[in-house]
Structures are given as C-alpha cells and as structure tokens.
C-alpha cells in the first residue's frame, strides 16, 4: 500500500466511525454554496470567501489576486412539535383532571429567502498574504412562528433573530507547506425577538399545565449593535496530496441585547393592561443574554492528482462547539415589576433553563472535477450531536441530533464561477416523556419557590418542581436549503 | 480476547439497533392489559381493569360516543393494578372507553376501545320522558301491582341505567346512593298490612359484583337516611300498651357502622295518644312515613301520616322542637294557608318547607305546598303550591325537592309520574312509568360517583 492509498483508506475508515456530531445550537448548516455542497467538509480545503468562517488561513489558497463572492442561501425550515397529552390539574372537574391532548403545531414561517454572503479577498500585491472583508448572516433558522394557542406556547410562540457578521481577515502562508490566518468579527444583531406565553397566576397551590385564565404573551424585542469575536485558523500540507486544516472561534463572548419587554393578557375577560414599572416609574427595558460557544474544527483532505491535475478530493472534518456555555437564556428585568389586577409580579431575573451541552459534528465531502475548467460536482454528508439533553428539548432551536446530505456543482465561465448547492438537514423525531421533561412553565408570580416543596404554596401534583413541565412531546425538524454563489476571480 | 471484543462490539451494536427499532422505551405510566367486562348481575354496569408498570392513579373516560364525556373518579391510592366501574350506561349500547393514568409526573392513556352493554331483564317498567329540563339521575324503587319490586337508577333521558331486584317477599320504598360511593342502600319492608319482622336495610354494590349485604331491622317503615359518618337511621314501628291495648306508634332506629342498633326516638317521647290520637286508628297511631336528617343541627324531621304533621326532633334530647300540621302542632297556619292532609315526604330548606300533600286538596288530587315558617311566632304562611296538569293523585309516597336555582322536582309516586319544574313553576321535564308501576321515594344524584377526594400529594415526584 502506497502512502496515497493509505491516506485515502484512513479517510474512508474515519468516515465510517460511528462518531457523533454536534447540535447546531443557534446555527445550522453551512455558509457558502461550495462548502454546503460538500456537507460542510471545508476546513482543510476552503478556497473561497467562506474561508473567513471555516478557516481564515485558507484565504491564501483562493487562487486569484482579487476574488469577489456574493451569494444567498434559501431555506425551508419545517419544525413540528406535538406536546404529550397531560392531565389538566388546573381545570379539575368533579375531582377529575381532564386528559388533554394537543394538536401538532408547525413552524408557520418556514421560508427564509434572504440569507446573504458577500465579500472580497485580495493579496494586495503581497506574495504570501491575503486579506478579506466579508459580511454574512451565520447559517441557521432565523425565524419561527407557532400558534399562540398551540401546545408549544409555554415554551415559545415566536422568535426572530437577524444576525450579521462583519469580518476582516488576514492570512499568510509559508510556501506551499502551511499557512495561518485570523478573522476578526463584529457580530451585529439588529433584531432579536422572542415571545412565549407565561402564566400570571399568583394564587397559591395553582398549576395550569394546559391553560390559565391569566395566560399572558410575554415578548422581548431588542438588538445588540456590537459583539466582538475572532476565528483563528491554520493549514498544513505534509504531502502534496494531503492537507490538514484547523480553525477555532476562541473568544468567550455572548450576545446581550438591549430589549423591551411587553406583557399582554390573552384572556378576553381581562380588559386591563399590564403596567411595567421600576421603582414606581413606567419602564420596560430588559437585557437578554445569549452566550456564544467556542468552536474548533479540524479537517483532513486528500487530493487525488493525475497527470499534474487534481481529479477529486475527499475531506473529513470534525467540529467541536462548547454549547455547554449556554446554561440558560437570561432576561434581566433589573427590578422590573408587572402590575395587573392589583397583583404585582416581580419580573426580576428570569432564567430560561437550557443546560445545553457541547456538540461534535462530523462532515465528509469532496469535489470531483467532471469537466476540467468547466464543471465540478460535489457532495457530502454530515452528522451533528444533540445540543440539548432530551429533558431540555425545545422548539426554539433544533435541539436534537441532526444529519444531512448535500450535493452541489460549480460551473466555470472564464473568470466567473457559479456555485449551487442543495442541502437536506433533518432532526430525527425525538420524544420526551412528561416525566423526564425539565422545561417548566414560566410562572413568575407563582408562590411556589425555594425547593418547590411547600404544600401551602405549591400544587400537590407538582411538588419538587417550579411549575408543570411543558416540553414533553415529540419533536421533528427538517430543512431544505438551496445556495447560490457567484465568484469572480481576477 | 480479540474475539471477545468483537462480539462485545457486535452485541452492543445489535442491542443499539434493536433499541432504535423499538423507538422510545415504553412509558411506564401507560395503561396496559386493559380489559372490560359487563357485569353478570347488572347488564348496564361495566368493570374496566388495567395495569401499569409503576404506581399510578387513574380513571376511565367513557360514553356512548367517541367524545367520551363521562369519567370515573380518579383513584386516590397509587397502585399497579387497577379497576374502575362504569356507571350510568344504558342497556344494549356500544360504549367507548379509554383509561387515563398519572404517575405523579406524566400522564398516559390507553387506546379507545368499545364494549356493548347487555339487555335489561324482563319485568322492568317502561318509561316515557317528555322534555329536557332535568339533568342527573333519579334513584328510586319501583313497586308493581304484582308485588315485584326493583330499585332503579334512571337517567335524565328516562332510561334505566342501573337496576337491582331480589327475591325477598318484601317491597322497597326508599333507595339512596351510599356515602361510601360504592354501593346503594334501600329498605326492604312491608307497610301494607302487618309490618314485617324480616325487614332489612340492604346494601348492594354498584358494580354488581355481589348480591350485597343486609342488616336486619324488624318492623321497618317507609323511610331511612344515612348520616355523614355512615350511620343509618330508619323509621320502624313500635307497639306499646295504651289503655290496656297495643298501640302502634313509631321509633327511629339508628344502626351504627359497627352494626350496633339503638332507638334514638319514640312517638311516646313527644306525643300522648290520649291528647293526639291520630285520625286513622286502623293503620296505627302516628304512622310515620317520611324521615330526613339535618347533620348540621343534628335534628331529624319526621312526617306522620295519621297526624298530618311533621316534627323537628332533637337527636340528642329526643324533644320535638316544633310540630307543623294538624295534630299536636306548635305552629299555627296563617289566614288563608292551605292545610295538608296525610302528607308524605317534604323538604325543609332554611325557614321554608315543601310538603307532598297527598290528600289535602279537594277530590282525587295531590299537590305540593310550600310554607314559610316564622320561627319566632310559630306561624306557617303558605307561599306556593303546585298541582300537576292534568292533576294526579298519589295516595301514598310522593316527594318534592327544591333546587338552589328555585326549580322543583316532584315525584307523584303512586301516579307513576315525576315532574321537573323550572324556577317559574313551568314543567320542563316529565317522566311516566308504564301502567302498573309505582315510584317509591326518590333521591336525586348529579353523578353516580362520590364527590372526589383530592388525589394524594405524595404522588408528585421530586425533580
């Protein structure tokens, strides 16, 4: 066995290892048609503007003095959830809590049509340097909308996240042996909205797992103009046909929005508005904090060359993301109080328990030069481990493991490359039993506090927990993603 | 060694694949082994049994449609083996049912299944209902001219949903759902002619599992009550010598839950036959025929046909606190107030009383009279009366009930008719038996199940 065949065998074998993958957390999928078409296996072989994200060191391999790239990602994101039936202890009739079944709810805003990437890279006349500027929306499901009366409403009714990363990158290489690079990122969040239904009940021993007369829609709307982050990358070519790439997002940071909170009673029986005050004065400002993960990606790429021309390549990537940093989403009301029907509810510090875990992803993909200088075909597969434990499964972000398959092609006409890709991403259905569910209804006025064991304040059927669990049920999600990129290489 | 590792890997992989094929592990709280059986003794009663892998409480949803709008009470004791009785079912009807369980943290349910109830036995009365203005159930004995008797539960649609017969050569006059929530009580006695030494208070399980049990209380009369603590109190006949001859009065006999019997009141405690002889010596002296109990005041209300009077009796002192009627009265009637004669049941509500006046009206016509009682001046003022249209006559039994909403239920027993009146006095529901049947005293029930106790808090799991 020669070295080339050995390297290929190792790659193939590694691809068969039943390794896990990563949960996507806030993000899902790949940025750039060429990367997506390879199933995201692009850390060692990145050679377009998406390198600013995959591996900035690879910017030196773009193959032009000036490269301009523009593209968009179109996606259809289906999210389905069926809450498990439960007993409605809030509406006991003749001593018997009705058995309540919930209808399946679907993401009512599945289409995501604007998801751009634009950038340019240039050596600026320097032999071993490349510099790049890019702006892109990180890949993911930007918007979800569910029925306000659906079974998911105590978890979430809607969310909308508009995030744009502005990136300035620089890369340097040492001959054809190795290179290093860095991307400095300005993360701009012009819009981050999140709404869910809360139970405003303040009476002791109350639990309303299905519906409450004091159901209220709580909405946090805000933005975060600036969060800094950075990606470091490197590549190494130990053999002419073998490349290794590593990259990582290395700064522990978080998105913290300046937001406004609104609380609206849903019952038609309540005419009164909820007044939000702080120290007796009207106020509605809150801060929403979403931690960002550290990430690391490593890839190994085999390039098959015959007659001095590459025929195909195969790349295996393994990614790691420290989503365990996301213990909870925090809404800091800083002493805010909600006043309704002579009741005063301390908004205080609301922590939506997430308890995410670190994720690992495996991506395998490659290109085939079908018609040299004219057509390249590519394909890939990937698998990502679940970002959340089953107990904390949620509809706001895909929380289970994901798998997918992708295919793509590039067409070359003189200096222009048109790259297209299709990616199918699926979270296999997962079911969370009510007994194991740990996402509890938000009931900020509840008197059941502390260890949640007080028989005077806590509902007898929910002792030991703050409120009924509301995330039991069956989750499924899938996305159809199409990407189109135009590259111009001078 | 390598072989062992490979086998271990393959075994683990196989197990993983098998588990994946199975999907999620079964919910331990989910009911399994659900079976339903129609009672052999009562063909309108179904018992559902099921098991759960962990201790749960549960109940059964059921009904004649897929909506399953009825349910059994939720169990109070967590267990792995369960049973529930479906009550209120009509004969020869397909019933949908589903078991629901709760393990303290999660709910589960079986699939929806069906079972068909059986036919009613031969000899049950035909019933005709008009109107929809009544809800709930009527628990009532029926007597027939041929001497056979049965205890029935009739739904608001006028359908028999529970029945019981026995081969005692006695008749049944009053039936009640027992406070244990599992059984029905009735008296088996004889008031026509000589009272029976073999009379009994009978308890029959609602689920039809056995023929029941009985307590011998000799010489029982028309009526009995059950105290909140389960003590039974019944009217019985008591004979004493009066002027050298036996005189047939009455007594109230209490039967404690341990079976101990004691007399808590006698006609002779309040009345002197020399002063109040009654008006029908052929039937006895007082001829008590109706009994109610107020647990708050701890008093009995006793109706005495031959006195045409109703007495409020202090259970502790045996004293008659007041008497309303024609004999030995402590109340006077306000001018213009109608008098009642040979009345049967009545309903005391605060300072008002409704009375089934069997024979006070002119001609063969019975009526319901309502009086307001001025307790300070002991004056009874008639405030309402009701005569059926067309009028009916019941020479025996009969019972009016006033509801919180102002509506009224009237059982014209011997006429084989029951009326439900709205608060304005308009009849909104009427039930008639077929010819040859007579209703005894009735009790009304909104549900055939007891008021639910809260499920045990201990079921909640600690998280």
Q: How many whole angstroms separate alpha carbon B276 and alpha carbon A120? A: 117
Token pair of B30 as six digits:
């989910």
For residue A470, how far is the Cα from the chain centroid?
A: 22
Selecting from A97, A433, A453 the residue whose C-beta is nearest the C-beta of B27 gives A433
More confident residue, A375 or B210: A375
Each residue's pLDDT expressed in tens, for chain A with a length of 490 residues? 444 444 444 333 333 333 322 336 788 888 899 999 999 999 999 999 999 999 999 999 987 788 999 999 999 999 999 999 999 999 998 889 999 999 999 999 999 999 999 999 999 999 899 999 999 999 999 999 999 999 999 999 999 999 999 999 999 999 999 999 999 999 999 999 999 999 988 889 999 999 999 999 999 999 999 999 999 999 999 999 999 999 999 899 999 999 999 999 998 888 888 899 999 899 999 999 999 999 999 999 999 999 889 999 999 999 999 999 999 988 898 889 888 877 788 877 788 889 999 999 999 999 999 999 999 999 999 999 999 999 999 999 998 999 999 999 999 999 999 999 999 999 999 999 999 999 999 998 888 999 999 999 999 999 999 999 999 999 999 999 999 999 999 8
Q: So what's the ipTM on this one?
A: 0.81
**Residue B417 to residues B124, B128, B383, Cα–Cα distance (Å):** 16, 9, 24
Token pair of A474 as six digits:
């069956």
At B23 the pLDDT is 33
Q: How many whole angstroms separate alpha carbon A152 and alpha carbon B389? A: 57
| Residue from B449, B445, B455 nearest B182 by CA | B449
Selecting from A99, A460, A464 the residue whose C-beta is nearest the C-beta of B107 gives A99
**Residue B45 to residues B88, B172, B177, Cα–Cα distance (Å):** 8, 21, 15
At B456 the pLDDT is 55
**B463 pLDDT above the threshold of 80:** no
Alpha-carbon dihedral of residues B318, B323, B326, B332, nearest 10 degrees? 150
Residue B75, min C-alpha distance to chain A (Å): 9
A465 at B interface, C-beta within 8 A: yes
Q: How many whole angstroms separate alpha carbon B99 and alpha carbon B49? A: 9
Question: Are B106 and A472 a contacting pair at CB < 8 A?
Answer: yes
Question: Are B106 and A86 a contacting pair at CB < 8 A?
Answer: yes
Q: How many whole angstroms separate alpha carbon A260 and alpha carbon A218? A: 10
CB atoms within 10 A of CB B20: 9
Place of tokens 């018992």: B47
Alpha-carbon dihedral of residues B19, B24, B28, B31, nearest 10 degrees? -110
Token pair of A294 as six digits:
């550290």
CB atoms within 10 A of CB A217: 18
For residue A281, how far is the Cα from the chain centroid?
A: 37
Confidence of residue B136 (pLDDT cuts 50, 70, 90): very high
Question: Are B23 and A431 a contacting pair at CB < 8 A?
Answer: yes
Confidence of residue B452 (pLDDT cuts 50, 70, 90): low
Is B49 within 8 Å of B83 (Cβ atoms)?
yes
Q: How many whole angstroms separate alpha carbon A354 and alpha carbon A329? A: 7
Confidence of residue B450 (pLDDT cuts 50, 70, 90): confident
Residue A205, min C-alpha distance to chain B (Å): 11
A278 at B interface, C-beta within 8 A: no
Tell me which of A463, A466, A473 to substitute to probe the interface with B (most B C-beta atoms closer than 10 Å).
Answer: A463
Encode pLDDT of B80-105 as tens digits. 999 999 999 999 999 999 999 999 88
Residue A143: which residues within 8 A CB-CB, separation 6 or more? A109, A112, A158, A159, A160, A161
Residue A470: which residues within 8 A CB-CB, separation 6 or more? A83, A154, A155, A209, A437, A439, A440, A441
Residue A328: which residues within 8 A CB-CB, separation 6 or more? A351, A352, A353, A354, A355
Selecting from A99, A455, A461 the residue whose C-beta is nearest the C-beta of B455 gives A461
Is B145 within 8 Å of B166 (Cβ atoms)?
no
β-strands B245-255, B261-266: how paired?
Answer: antiparallel
At B166 the pLDDT is 84
Is A118 within 8 Å of A166 (Cβ atoms)?
no
At B148 the pLDDT is 63
Q: B74: which chain A residues are within 8 Å (Cβ-Cβ)?
A: 95-97
Selecting from B107, B451, B457 the residue whose C-beta is nearest the C-beta of A460 gives B457
Q: How many whole angstroms separate alpha carbon B400 and alpha carbon B384? A: 12
More confident residue, A446 or B345: B345
Q: B451: which chain A residues are within 8 Å (Cβ-Cβ)?
A: 94-95
At B13 the pLDDT is 38
Question: Are A469 and B105 a contacting pair at CB < 8 A?
Answer: yes
Is A284 within 8 Å of A296 (Cβ atoms)?
no
Question: Are B24 and A85 a contacting pair at CB < 8 A?
Answer: no
At B454 the pLDDT is 58
At A351 the pLDDT is 81
At B79 the pLDDT is 97
Is A28 within 8 Å of A371 (Cβ atoms)?
no
In the stretch 418-447 of chain A, residues with CB closer than 8 A to chain B read 431, 433-435, 438
Residue B397: which residues within 8 A CB-CB, separation 6 or more? B173, B222, B344, B345, B356, B411, B413, B414, B438, B439, B440, B441
Residue B56, min C-alpha distance to chain A (Å): 12
Domains of chain B in start order, with CATH, are: 4-116 (2.60.40.10), 127-445 (2.120.10.30)
| Residue from B445, B436, B395, B417 nearest B136 by CA | B445
Question: Are B24 and A431 a contacting pair at CB < 8 A?
Answer: yes
| HEC sequence for chain B | CHHHHHHHHHHHHHHHHHHHHHCCCCCCCCCEEEEEEECCCCCCCEEEEEEEEEEEEEEEEEECCCCCCEECCCCCCCEEEEEEEECCCCCCCEEEEEEEEECCCCEEECCCEEEECCCCCCCCCCEEEECCCCCCEEEEEEEECCCCEEEEEEECCCCEEEEECCCCCCEEEEEEECCCCCEEEEEEECCCCCCCCCCEEEEEECCCCCCCEEEECCCEEEEEEECCCCCEEEEEEEEEEECCEEEEEEEEEEECCCCCEEEEEEHHHHCCCCCCCCCCHHHCCCCEEEEEEECCCCEEEEEEHHHCEEEEEECCCCCEEEEEECCCCCCEECCCCCCCCCCCCEEEECCEEEEEECCCCCCCCCEEEEEEEECCCCEEEEEEEECCCCCCCCCCCCEEEECCCCCEEEEEHHHCEEEEECCCCCEEEEEEECCCEEECECEEECCCCCCCCCCCHHHCCCC
Strand partners, B63: B96
Q: A90: which chain B residues are within 8 Å (Cβ-Cβ)?
A: none
Alpha-carbon dihedral of residues B203, B208, B211, B212, nearest 10 degrees? -20
Is A372 within 8 Å of A364 (Cβ atoms)?
no
**B17 pLDDT above the threshold of 70:** no
Tell me which of B56, B137, B454, B460 to substitute to probe the interface with A (most A C-beta atoms closer than 10 Å).
Answer: B460
Mean pLDDT across chain B: 91
Residue A334: which residues within 8 A CB-CB, separation 6 or more? A278, A285, A286, A287
Is A442 within 8 Å of A350 (Cβ atoms)?
yes
Q: A434: which chain B residues are within 8 Å (Cβ-Cβ)?
A: 105-107
Residue B350: which residues within 8 A CB-CB, separation 6 or more? none
At B22 the pLDDT is 35
Alpha-carbon dihedral of residues B259, B262, B264, B266, nearest 10 degrees? 130
Is B231 within 8 Å of B250 (Cβ atoms)?
no
Tell me which of A87, A98, A393, A401 to substitute to probe the interface with B (most B C-beta atoms closer than 10 Å).
Answer: A87
| Residue from B430, B427, B436 nearest B417 by CA | B430
CB atoms within 10 A of CB B66: 9
Among A39-43, B19-23, B257-261, the minimum mean pLDDT is found in B19-23
**B11 pLDDT above the threshold of 50:** no
Encode pLDDT of B373-412 as tens digits. 999 999 999 999 999 999 999 999 999 999 999 999 999 9
């Amino acid at each position: 066995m020669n070295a080339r065949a050995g390297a290929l065998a190792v790659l193939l074998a590694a691809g068969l290892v039943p390794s896990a993958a990563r949960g996507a957390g806030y993000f899902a999928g790949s940025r750039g048609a060429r990367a997506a078409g390879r199933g995201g296996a692009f850390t060692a072989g990145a050679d377009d503007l998406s390198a600013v994200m995959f591996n900035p060191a690879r910017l030196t391999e773009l193959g032009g003095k000036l490269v301009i790239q523009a593209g968009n990602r179109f996606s259809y994101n289906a999210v389905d959830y069926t809450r498990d039936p439960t007993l409605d202890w809030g509406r006991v009739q003749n001593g018997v809590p009705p058995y309540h079944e919930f209808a399946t709810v679907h993401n009512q805003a599945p289409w995501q049509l604007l998801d751009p990437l634009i950038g340019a890279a240039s050596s600026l006349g320097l032999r071993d340097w490349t510099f790049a500027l890019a702006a892109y929306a990180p890949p993911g499901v930007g918007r979800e909308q569910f029925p306000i009366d659906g079974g998911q409403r105590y978890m979430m009714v809607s969310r909308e996240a508009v995030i744009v990363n502005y990136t300035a990158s620089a890369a340097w290489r040492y001959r054809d042996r190795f290179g290093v690079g860095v991307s400095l990122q300005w993360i701009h969040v012009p819009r981050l909205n999140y709404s869910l239904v809360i139970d405003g009940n303040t009476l002791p021993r109350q639990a309303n797992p299905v519906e409450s007369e004091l159901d209220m829609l709580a909405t946090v709307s805000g933005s975060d103009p600036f969060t800094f982050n950075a990606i470091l990358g490197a590549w190494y070519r130990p053999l002419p046909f073998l490349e290794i790439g590593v990259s990582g997002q290395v700064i522990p940071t978080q998105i913290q929005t300046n937001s406004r909170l609104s609380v609206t009673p849903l019952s038609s029986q309540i005419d009164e508005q909820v007044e939000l005050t702080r120290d007796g004065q009207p106020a509605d400002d809150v801060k929403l904090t979403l931690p960002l993960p550290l990430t690391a990606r490593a890839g190994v790429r085999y390039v098959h060359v015959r007659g001095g021309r590459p025929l195909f390549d195969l790349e295996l990537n393994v990614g790691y993301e420290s989503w365990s940093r996301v213990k909870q989403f925090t809404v800091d009301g800083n002493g805010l109080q909600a006043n309704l029907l002579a009741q005063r509810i301390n908004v205080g510090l609301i922590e939506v328990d997430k308890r995410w875990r670190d994720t690992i992803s495996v991506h395998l993909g490659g290109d085939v030069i079908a018609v040299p200088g004219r057509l390249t075909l590519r394909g890939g597969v990937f698998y990502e481990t679940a970002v959340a434990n089953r107990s904390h499964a949620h509809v706001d972000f895909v929380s289970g493991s994901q798998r997918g398959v992708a295919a793509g092609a590039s067409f070359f006409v003189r200096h222009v490359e048109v790259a297209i890709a299709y990616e199918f991403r699926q979270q296999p259905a997962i079911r969370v039993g009510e007994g194991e569910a740990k996402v509890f209804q938000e009931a900020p006025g509840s008197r059941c506090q502390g260890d949640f064991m007080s028989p005077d304040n806590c509902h007898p059927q929910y002792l030991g927990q703050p409120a009924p669990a509301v995330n039991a049920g069956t989750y499924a999600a899938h996305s159809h993603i199409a990407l189109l990129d135009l590259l111009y290489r001078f | 060694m390598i072989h062992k590792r490979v086998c271990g890997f393959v075994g683990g992989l196989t197990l993983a694949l098998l588990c994946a094929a199975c999907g999620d592990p079964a919910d331990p709280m989910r009911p399994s082994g659900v079976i339903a059986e129609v009672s052999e003794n009562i063909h309108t009663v179904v018992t559902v049994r099921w098991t759960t892998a962990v201790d749960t409480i549960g109940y059964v949803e059921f009904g004649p449609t897929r909506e399953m709008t009825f349910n059994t009470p939720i169990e109070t004791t967590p267990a792995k083996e369960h049973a529930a009785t479906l009550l209120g079912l009509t004969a020869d009807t397909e019933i949908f049912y589903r078991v629901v369980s709760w393990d303290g943290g999660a709910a589960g349910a079986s699939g929806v299944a069906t079972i068909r109830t059986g036919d009613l036995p031969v000899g049950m009365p035909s019933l005709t209902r008009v109107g929809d203005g009544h809800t709930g159930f009527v628990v009532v004995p029926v007597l027939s001219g041929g001497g056979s008797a049965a205890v029935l539960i009739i739904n608001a649609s006028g359908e028999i949903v529970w029945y019981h017969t026995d081969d005692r050569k006695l008749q049944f006059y009053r039936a009640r759902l027992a406070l244990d929530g599992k059984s029905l009580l009735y008296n088996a006695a004889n008031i026509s002619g000589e009272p029976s030494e073999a009379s009994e208070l009978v308890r029959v399980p609602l689920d039809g599992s056995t023929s029941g049990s009985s307590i011998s209380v000799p010489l029982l009369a028309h009526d009995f009550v059950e105290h909140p603590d389960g003590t039974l109190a019944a009217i019985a006949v008591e004979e004493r010598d009066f002027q050298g001859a036996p005189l047939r009065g009455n007594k109230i006999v209490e039967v404690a839950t341990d079976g101990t019997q004691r007399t808590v009141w006698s006609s002779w405690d309040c009345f002197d036959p020399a002063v109040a002889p009654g008006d029908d010596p052929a039937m006895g002296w007082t001829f008590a025929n109706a009994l109610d109990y107020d647990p708050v005041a701890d008093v009995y209300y006793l109706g005495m046909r031959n006195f045409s009077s109703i007495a409020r009796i202090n259970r502790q002192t045996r004293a008659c606190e007041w008497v309303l009627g024609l004999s030995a009265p402590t109340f006077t009637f306000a001018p213009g107030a109608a008098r009642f004669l040979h009345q049967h049941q009545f309903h005391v509500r605060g300072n008002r009383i409704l009375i089934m006046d069997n024979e006070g009206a002119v001609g063969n016509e019975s009526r319901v009279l309502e009086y307001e009682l001025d307790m300070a001046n002991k004056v009874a003022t008639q405030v309402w009366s009701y005569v059926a249209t067309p009028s009916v006559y019941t020479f025996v039994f009969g019972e009016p009930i006033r509801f919180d909403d102002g509506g009224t239920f009237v059982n014209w027993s011997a006429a084989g008719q029951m009326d439900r009146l709205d608060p304005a006095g308009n009849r909104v529901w009427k039930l008639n038996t077929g010819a040859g049947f007579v209703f005894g005293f009735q009790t009304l029930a909104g549900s055939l199940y007891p008021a639910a106790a809260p499920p045990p808090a201990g079921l909640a799991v600690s998280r």
